[in-house]
Amino acid sequence: MTLKDHILARIAAEGPMRLDDYMSTCLLHPTLGYYTSQTPFGQSGDFVTAPEISQMFGELIGLALAQAWLDQGAPNPFTLAELGPGRGTLMADLLRAARQVPGFLDAAEVILIEASPALQSVQQETLNPHPVRWLDSIADLPEQPLFLIANEFFDALPIRQFQRAGPNWRERNIGTEGGTLTMGLGPAQPCPGLSFRLDDTKDGDLVETCPAAGPIAEQIASCIAARGGAALIVDYGDWRSLGDTLQAVQNHESVDPLSSPGLADLTAHVDFEALAMAASGCAYSRVTAQGVFLERLGITQRAQQLAGALSGSALENHIAAHRRLTHPAEMGNLFKVMALFPKGGTPPPGLDP
């Protein structure tokens, strides 16, 4: 049985499926889900994340977190954590760059929040011989200062979509028609959690919510508020959700999100306002375009330094990687960065309060 067959059977038995349920099933089904059955990362997978494009990304993230650690008095010990660490590439680059900061690696306990045994194995190989610990949840983090990176983590969390209908909202769901999965709308009804969006939307407008994102942001903020630290959240999205941003990627190409359940990656843009509001125990930085953030951290100077040892196609690829990470027409504007940090403190380098 394919995952599509499984979903069709569920809808036939139970009725239309909520979008967040559909996403969870597509991504996390124990045997047929995307993250359990496919190879998502890298050139041989379905998409390439910033750390896979260039070592510069992870290096600058590492130095930004190390400076934030210094600004808070260089606490020892502390937790250096990553949510959804993929193949471990970002953490490997981060650790290599952070070796330049005396005491940072000695004080750091590296923890990866990763539930997939297959990915844990890849991460262990990437990060060997550096000692690493894996946890399933932020709630299990040790009680010490937390310096955390979440790159393209929140975009993979399942979303719900609501279409404005006067003072009410109609939720989009997944149904079937002739053996094909289709999008439909539920009945119009009040949605108290979206009452504040009645001021900036009109009939027919679509708003997305992410039920899992708020509690995770709240847990991160709680750790930082209680014990110090900082979190860098890097993802595509903007300050406030508006419009349909659900997308599917297969073999580096966009496909219909309903066409290949379990065979394509599903993501949606991140609502940074919702994360900031959930992280009420902390201060948060201004949301900043990734290109601006990386330029402030010195990516062009680092690119020039690395270019000195390159020639031919390697140099061309290096120049293209710098452009892809920073140019407004590529990832530079689409991706945003926001930091969480203690109230009364200063954000990590590259970001404004």
| pLDDT, tens only, 145-160 | 999 999 999 999 999 9
Residue 168 counted as domain residue: no
pTM: 0.94
The mean per-residue pLDDT over the stretch 245-257 comes to 92
Domain for residue 285, yes or no?
yes
At 24-76, the pLDDT tens digits run 999 988 888 888 777 666 555 556 899 999 999 999 999 999 999 999 999 99
Domain that residue 46 falls in: 35-158+209-341
Q: Is residue 261 part of a domain?
A: yes
Q: Is residue 198 part of a domain?
A: no
Q: Is residue 353 part of a domain?
A: no
C-alpha to C-alpha distances, 57 to 64, 178, 238, 297, 314, nearest whole angstrom: 11, 47, 20, 10, 17
The total domain count for the chain is 1
268 found inside a domain: yes
Is 284 among the domain residues?
A: yes
Strand partners, 125: none
**Residue 220 within a domain:** yes
The CATH number given to whatever domain includes residue 124 is 3.40.50.12710
